[in-house]
Structure 1
Amino acid sequence: MKKDEFYIGYVDEVGIGTKKTLKRFVIIAISVLMIGALLFGFFQRPAINSSFDFGNPTKVSGLYHESPYPMLRVAVAENEFKDLVLLGVGKFGPNPYLKEIREKEGGLNGKQLTIEGQLVYYNGKTLLEIDDSQNVSLANSKVNTFSFTKTLGQLTVEGEVIDPKCYFGVMKPGFGKIHRSCASLCIAGGVPPVLVSNGENGVENYFLLTDLKGNPIHRDILPYIGQPSKISGALSAIGDWKVLKINVDQIEKLDKKSSIY
């Protein structure tokens, strides 16, 4: 009659049967881990090609405008401009860093500013993070009159409300349910809300969101952040940004996993 092995580690040597069992377990465990790792990697969304120049400040000069959100209109070539959305450090907008010079100058709209900050950029959109009010200065005293806004009609679009700071480079990923609490803090702190929508051929479209009068919205949009939604509003363009004026109460939440692919 064959006897079962009874193994005590600090007394006996490992028996033949125990060795075979351990060897089989190790092989199976390693195989399962390798297959699981391959499957996990295969089904992951690729990391977006975004960038946050943390610790590497850049000095830029341009025309400041703040409707609906603080921006710096920078010349990148002859008759070609890019509008940089301004941000503050952490989960805040830029206003605390603009307050001192705004009060000193009696307003900044239409004035040339030089700002040293950290760039955040992705997919043709650029943001500029200000970390010190001393890094904001008046480039000259000239006040420019300008009209960047173009009316484009009405639009209904499906997408997801995100905070652009995290989505465009500071966090990867910066969207969806897992990022909802972080994005809510950013937008409540003054970061502009942006609607991300997938257009034709998978190309993403971005819309700055305002209320129906074109004023900034922050806390009213919080219940809809990170959730697939259908949003309608009046579409316009300010520089290279699209702006959607919306009635927050008319946002329709969609019963789907995500609007960002």
Structure 2
Amino acid sequence: MGDKDEFYIGYVDSVGKNTRKSIKVFVLGALGTLILGAFLFGFFQRPASNSSFDFDTATKVSGVYHEMPYPMLRVALEKDVHKNILLLGFGKFGANPYLKDICKKEGTLEGMQLTIEGNLIYYNGKTLLQIDDSQKISLTNSSKKNPISKEALGKKILEGEIVDPKCYFGVMKPGYGKIHRSCASLCISGGIPPVLVTSDENAISDYFLLTDLKGNPLHKDILPYIGQPSQLQGEVEKLEDWHVLRIDVTEIEKLNKESSIY
């Protein structure tokens, strides 16, 4: 048997010259493939957003409660400067189930001062608060405050994608891909408000809470359009640091484009 016809038995023979060479080539090739694969995987990944989710840190936030039409807490940052924090429930649910107990005692909470302990989510100038226990909501002042100011901006035609703000703004980081599109559908059907994400020519994003034409919440009717590049038209209102877009869901036009989010 020639040198090229080595037959190696591990528990009997020593490793032959050709076998050693073959093993070295295989190991070096596998290592090179692994390094190249890791580089390509990292190169084609989207950069993580600068969002934040304080999952393991509970924060008490006090402000004036209002629904426009989704639950929010209007917090005073300084004189005549406010931030409206969008309230969400734990998991894939809205905040309403956690607010119903205190609503039973007090009736409508609109305009009342509440203190809520929860987990903050913030991204790109927007702040959200996750509530995981109704016992962490307390009424600090029952006197009614002035309602939030609205500014009508007229009818607009906007292009963008509908997302659920909880995952997109920071809970899933980054909340991209087809799996997250399915997750967004579950979140919005569970009561989390739908948000339209738009971008201008300078890649600056803006966010619009979506309602029906009467200003009522939208959930299940909007599900077929989540994560689909679409054109929406309706009346826009500015609620301090948020925009609201009132739409007729049947007039949403899907665009022949690939999703830049999902």
What TM-score, normalized to structure 2?
0.94
Q: CA RMSD in A?
A: 1.6
Letter of the aligned partner of 1:119 in structure 2?
A: L
SS in 1 for 2:181: helix
- Asked if the contact 2:86–2:128 (Cα under 8 Å) also holds between the matched residues in 1, the reply is yes
SS in 1 for 2:98: helix
Shift of 1:254: 2.4
SS in 2 for 1:35: helix
CA–CA distance in structure 1, aligned partners of residues 260 and 246 of structure 2: 20
State the match for 1:7 in structure 2. Answer: 8
Q: Percent identity?
A: 66
- Asked if the contact 1:176–1:227 (Cα under 8 Å) also holds between the matched residues in 2, the reply is no
State the match for 1:66 in structure 2. Answer: 67
Shift of 1:147: 4.2
CA–CA distance in structure 2, aligned partners of residues 260 and 133 of structure 1: 33
- Asked if the contact 2:212–2:247 (Cα under 8 Å) also holds between the matched residues in 1, the reply is yes
| Structure 2: unaligned runs, 5 residues or longer | none
State the match for 1:181 in structure 2. Answer: 182
- Please state if 1:158 is matched with 2:125: no
Letter of the aligned partner of 1:26 in structure 2?
A: V
Matches within 5 A, 1:112-123: 112-123=113-124
CA–CA distance in structure 1, aligned partners of residues 159 and 60 of structure 2: 36
More moved, 134-143 vs 209-218: 134-143
State the match for 1:100 in structure 2. Answer: 101
State the match for 1:18 in structure 2. Answer: 19
After TM superposition, what 4+ stretches of structure 1 lie above 3 angstroms from structure 2?
Answer: none
Show CA shifts across 1:93-125 (max 9, x none): 111111111121111011111111111111110
Matches within 5 A, 1:1-261: 2=2, 3-260=4-261
What TM-score, normalized to structure 1?
0.95
Letter of the aligned partner of 1:92 in structure 2?
A: F
CA–CA distance in structure 1, aligned partners of residues 157 and 177 of structure 2: 21
CA–CA distance in structure 2, aligned partners of residues 170 and 183 of structure 1: 12
Letter of the aligned partner of 1:93 in structure 2?
A: G
Letter of the aligned partner of 1:170 in structure 2?
A: V
Letter of the aligned partner of 1:55 in structure 2?
A: D
| Structure 1: unaligned runs, 5 residues or longer | none
CA–CA distance in structure 2, aligned partners of residues 147 and 119 of structure 1: 22
Show CA shifts across 1:142-176 (max 9, x none): 11232422111222222111111111111012244
- Asked if the contact 1:158–1:259 (Cα under 8 Å) also holds between the matched residues in 2, the reply is no
Shift of 1:61: 1.1
Shift of 1:130: 1.2
Show CA shifts across 1:48-90 (max 9, x none): 1111111211111111111210101000111110000001111
The number of equivalent residue pairs is 261
More moved, 235-244 vs 169-178: 169-178
SS in 2 for 1:142: coil
Show CA shifts across 1:213-248 (max 9, x none): 111000011111122222222111112111111111
SS in 2 for 1:201: coil
